[in-house]
Amino acid sequence: FFSGDPHPGNILLLREDDGTPQIGLIDYGQVKILTKETRHLFAKLIIALDEDNKAEIVRLMKEAGMRTKNMDSDVIYLY
């Protein structure tokens, strides 16, 4: 699952009866199930962002479906 609204108010830290930690998620208005391919694309994008690899960030954003009026690489990179 992927949440488009993951702020602290939508994530609860809980405990099972035996004390095991558990995460509780609420507000499913912006939750989607991602395909394996999309998850891999997002993982590659996170790595590219961490490495500040502008060319790869732009390529992956386009592959993910990002569109701008002029498809300017600088705009895509900064977005």
Q: List the beta bridge partners of residue 31.
A: 3
* Phi–psi pair at 40, nearest 5 degrees: -65, -40
Length of the chain: 79
| 5 against 43, higher pLDDT | 43
Closest listed residue to residue 30, CA positions, set 2, 66, 64, 65: 2
Q: What is the pLDDT of residues 42-68, one digit of tens each?
A: 999 999 999 999 999 999 999 999 888
User: pTM score, two decimals?
Assistant: 0.67
- Per-residue pLDDT for 30 more than 90? no
